[in-house]
């Protein structure tokens, strides 16, 4: 199995930046699609970004386009989410997820492995 651990969350002011990291361990030899999701209190879990094995195919939610950038370093088994121009509505628990497929997906049900999440709080 694959274990995922997120880091980099914290408290930041509106307009600030954070860089989230997701380190994978265990059986990481598969060519997993990686994704970032977030869930705010009282709301559904939503896809933020996703990236293919090679990094050549990416997806971004409309709400974060132009502000967030997803990337991966397969040699380090790590995926990143650079978050710029943060807004209060970005406040949520952010989850890293892995999908045992080469096809990028946005539905949480299509992901097999999940981290425990890291809290991102954007103050006004």
Token pair belonging to 26: 């265990």
**What backbone torsions phi and psi does residue 41 show, to the nearest 5 degrees?**
-55, 130
Q: Tell me how far apart the alpha carbons of residues 37 and 106 are, in angstroms, rounded to a whole number.
A: 9
Per-residue H/E/C for 32-90: CEEEEEEECCCCCCEEEEEECCCCCCEEECCCCCCCEEEEEEHHHCEEEEEECCCCHHH
Give the model's pLDDT for residue 101. Answer: 82
Average pLDDT over residues 42-50: 96
Instruction: Enumerate residues 6+ apart whose C-beta is below 8 A from 41.
Output: none
If you average pLDDT over residues 73-80, what whole number do you get? 91
How does pLDDT run across 91-112, given as a tens digit for each residue? 999 999 999 888 888 999 999 9
């Amino acid at each position: 199995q694959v274990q995922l651990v997120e880091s980099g969350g914290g408290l930041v002011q509106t307009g600030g930046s954070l860089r989230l990291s997701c380190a994978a361990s265990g059986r990481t030899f598969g060519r997993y699609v990686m994704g970032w999701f977030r869930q705010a209190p009282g709301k559904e879990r939503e896809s933020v970004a996703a990236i293919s094995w090679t990094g050549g195919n990416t997806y971004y939610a409309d709400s974060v386009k132009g502000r967030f950038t997803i990337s991966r370093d397969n040699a380090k088994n790590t995926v990143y989410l650079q978050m710029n121009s943060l807004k209060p509505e970005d406040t949520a628990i952010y989850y890293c997820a892995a999908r045992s497929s080469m096809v990028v997906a946005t539905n949480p049900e299509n992901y097999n492995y999940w981290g425990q999440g890291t809290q991102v709080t954007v103050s006004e």
